[in-house]
Structure formats: C-alpha cells, structure tokens
Amino acid sequence: MAVTTSLPGTAEQGAPAGGTRGASPGSGSSPGVTRPSGPERDTRVRRTLYAVGGVLAALVFVVPLLLALVRAGQPGDVVVAAPDGRFLDLSWVNFRLILDQPEIWRGIVNSVVVSVSTAVLTAVLATLAGYGFAKFGFRGRGVLFGLVLVTLMVPFQAILTPLYLQMNAMRLTDSLLGLVLFYTTVNLPFCVFVMRNAFESVPGEIEDSAHVDGAGTLRMIVSVLRPLVLPGAATAALYAFLASWTEFLGALTFLTDSSLYTLPVSLVNLQQGAYGQVDFGLLAAGSVVAMIPCVVLYVALQRYYVAGLASGAVKG
C-alpha cells in the first residue's frame, strides 16, 4: 500500500501507516489529546510501574539520539577511535566542515527546496481536491476518488523502472522539479484523504451564507473556510515535508547530477568515500542536520501530526 510511502520516511520501512482501514471503536476526532484516565486504576503499584517503566523506556529512546548529538560534536578521528579522554571534547568542527564542504551543504539546500516545495504543492493540490471531492457532486466523482485511493495500494518501488523511463522521457530526471512532482504524487492520496475528511466536517451553512454574500470558489477556500481547514492543510504539508525530507530510493534513482543530490544521497556518497576519505564526524553532523528539522517540526506541530493519523485511522 502506498500509504507506506506517504508517511514520513515509511517508503521502505516495515511501517504501518495512518491510512488504516480498521475503524477503532468510537474514537472520535480527538487530536491526540490524552483522554482522561485509561483503563487502569491509579494505584500506587501501577504508578510506580509506570514511572519506572516510563523512565527506562524513555532512556532507551532518548539515549541513542543524544549520542548522535555527541558524535556530531566529535572530530572525525575521535568518532572512529575507541572511546578515550577525548570523547566529550565537543566542538563545532564538523559543522564548520559542512559549510566548507560544498557537497553536504548543497545537499541540505536541495533537500530544503524539495521538501518545502513538495509540502506546499501537496497541501495546495490536496486542499483543492479535498474540497472538490467533499463538497461537489459531479459525474465520476466516486470513480476518481477511488482512483486516487487505489494509488495508495501501489508502492512506488513496484513501478520504479517504468517510472524512471517515463520521467526520463518527460525530461524530469536529474531535476529537482521532477523530484518534487514525484514526491507530491506519492503524498497526494493520503493528503487528499485527510483534506476530504476535513472539508466534510464543515457544515454546509457556512458555505451557503458565503455564497449569499457572493463569494466565488477561490475566496471560499481562502477566506471563508480557511480557519476550518487550515489544520488539515497543515497536517498535509507536514506529512509531505517529513516524507520528502528523508526519502531515499527515489532521490537515488532520479538524480544523477551530484549538484542536485538531496541530503540523504549526499550523505550516502560521503559514506561510500565518493568525496575522498570518509570523515565520520562529518557524517554524524550531516545526520544531525537531517534530524533536527524532523524533530523540531514534529514537536511543534504534534497536534496536526497525530490528528492526521487519527483521521486516517478512524475515518477509513
């Protein structure tokens, strides 16, 4: 199912995705806010268990990431040496190297350009389509919506080769534009789904009264409905950004000019010694740079992210 491709970085993972069809019983559209009190009663034993278990688990999850930060501050030769006194002598040397080493820096820029463009394009197209599917009746609506959803079932890995040929024929390989179009397509089904749900929950009266005021379609979306659908659009944009930021196979296949490489591909080239002797400190720093936007965006926009998942899980 291509839903696996539309969620952040799930394109090649063993990852379940948000577009699940199983309806979980009755769970409403609560955007990830924890409900008051789960099934357990709050006894002291349970509380201690929770505290201990929670802390241990948290450590397991947090420590590797902290380690990554430490590695990014270690010069390359310290990273590859058995830990000694220099382990915690952190510095900015790797990050300075990033600025000096054009390949990684360019990779970052390309990734930013591609991911932001994908996020914007996906959000726009998904909003339009979501509105159309939700509020408009036209012949073939069911068929077209089904078409968009069926795409969720097609993993792009299965069409990698013919897609490569086709993009080549369309002159879209070796171009960031081509990559953006590809990423947008991969994210559209899920985001259209989310946006349609968002629009469907908008009461018809709002539109009717706006029509009375003479609002055209565009103004309807942008001004009238905006506050109601902005969360959905934000979700769509966030998903699309995260999915594109770490996507690998597509970037590897469709880009051959090294000046166009996105960050993951630049890092792989670095690691395989294409830029000379492998500097693992630089690799660590590059990875941390790849890490930070994901974490920041997720933490800041958690609400939208989990809402998207819930929307997909529930309304499916």
Partner 1 sequence: MELTRRQLLALLGAGGATAALGGCATPTTAVDVGAPGFGEGARGTVEMWCRSDTVNGVQTVVDAFHAAQDRVRVRLTPIQNGQYVTKVATAIRGGRVPDVIDIDDIYSTMFAFRDVFTDLTPLVEDLALGDALSPGHLALATKDGRHYGVPFLGDFSVLFCNTELFDRAGLDVDEHTASFDGILEAARAISALDGDTYGWSYPGNSSGALGFTVQPHVWATGTDLIAGDVGDQRGNVAGNDALRRTLDLERTLWQEQLVPPGCFADDASRWSADYVAGRLGMFPAGYGIVAPNASPELLERSRVVLLPGPDGGRAFFDGGDNLCMPQGGKNPEAAAELIRFAVALEQQTRMPDGFYSPVRSDVVTPEFEAEHPLVVPTLRSLDAGYAPTTLAYNLIYNQQDGPWLRMFRRAVFDGEVDTAMDEAQTTYDRILRQAQA
Partner 2 sequence: MSAARGTLTHPARTGLLLVAPAVAFVVVFVMVPLVSAVGISLTNLPLIGSWRFIGLENYASVLTDPTFWRAVGYTLLYTAIVTGPILLLGYALAVVVRANRRGATVLRTIFFVPYVIGLTTLSFLMLLEAQPDSGMVNVVLRGLGITDGSTAWLVDGPLASGLLCAMVIWAVSGLTMVLLMSGMQGIPREVYESAELDGATWWVRERTITVPLLRRTIAMTVVLSVIGSLLAFTQFYILTQGGPGSDTTTVVMAIYRRAFVQLQLGAATAMSLVLVVITGLVTAAQFWLLRERS
Q: Which residues bind partner 1 (CB under 8 A)?
A: 139-140, 143, 147, 162, 165-166, 168-170, 173-174, 256-258, 269, 272-274
With CB under 5 to 8 Å by kind, the binding choice for 154 among partner 1, partner 2, none is partner 2
User: Shortest Cβ distance from residue 121 to partner 2 (Å)?
Assistant: 9
User: Shortest Cβ distance from residue 186 to partner 1 (Å)?
Assistant: 17
Coil/strand/helix, residue 261: coil
User: Shortest Cβ distance from residue 149 to partner 1 (Å)?
Assistant: 14
- Considering the complex, state which of residue 111 and residue 173 has its C-beta at the smaller distance from partner 1: 173
Q: Which residues of 137-176 are buried (b: 16+ CB within 10 A; e: fewer)?
A: eeeeeeeebeebbebbeebbbeeeeebeeebeeeebbebb
With CB under 5 to 8 Å by kind, the binding choice for 273 among partner 1, partner 2, none is partner 1
- Considering the complex, state which of residue 201 and residue 269 has its C-beta at the smaller distance from partner 1: 269
CA distances from 278 to 72, 230, 237, 268 (A): 14, 45, 35, 11
CA distances from 63 to 56, 68, 86, 89 (A): 10, 9, 19, 18
> Per CB under 8 A, does 257 bind partner 2?
no
Q: Which 138-157 residues touch partner 2, going by CB under 8 A?
A: 138-139, 141, 144-145, 147-148, 151, 154-157
With CB under 5 to 8 Å by kind, the binding choice for 258 among partner 1, partner 2, none is partner 1
With CB under 5 to 8 Å by kind, the binding choice for 58 among partner 2, partner 1, none is partner 2
Q: Which 203-232 residues touch partner 2, going by CB under 8 A?
A: 204, 207-208, 211, 217
User: ∠ at Cα 188 (302, 203), nearest 5°?
Assistant: 70
DSSP code for 10 = G
Taking CB under 8 A as the criterion, the residue among 110, 194, 245, 254 binding partner 2 is 245
- The two counts, helices (H) then strands (E), for the chain are 15, 0
Q: How far apart are CA 183 and CA 164, in angstroms?
A: 14
- Considering the complex, state which of residue 44 and residue 139 has its C-beta at the smaller distance from partner 1: 139
Q: How far apart are CA 198 and CA 22, in angstroms?
A: 19
Q: Do the beta carbons of residue 284 and residue 72 sit within 8 Å? A: yes
Q: Do the beta carbons of residue 111 and residue 263 sit within 8 Å? A: yes
With CB under 5 to 8 Å by kind, the binding choice for 269 among partner 2, partner 1, none is partner 1
Q: How far apart are CA 104 and CA 131, in angstroms?
A: 40
Q: Do the beta carbons of residue 19 and residue 3 sit within 8 Å? A: yes
Contacts (Cβ under 8 Å, ≥6 apart) of 58: none
Q: Which 174-203 residues touch partner 2, going by CB under 8 A?
A: 181-182, 184-185, 188-189, 192, 200
- Considering the complex, state which of residue 231 and residue 250 has its C-beta at the smaller distance from partner 1: 250
With CB under 5 to 8 Å by kind, the binding choice for 113 among partner 2, partner 1, none is none
Q: Which stretch binds partner 2 (CB under 8 A): 22-30, 90-98, 99-107, 112-120?
A: 22-30
Taking CB under 8 A as the criterion, the residue among 135, 175, 269, 315 binding partner 2 is 135
- Four-residue CA torsion sign, 32, 300, 249, 144: positive
Taking CB under 8 A as the criterion, the residue among 6, 17, 179, 279 binding partner 2 is 17
Q: Which residue has tokens 């795409």?
A: 151
- Considering the complex, state which of residue 66 and residue 170 has its C-beta at the smaller distance from partner 1: 170
User: Shortest Cβ distance from residue 149 to partner 2 (Å)?
Assistant: 10
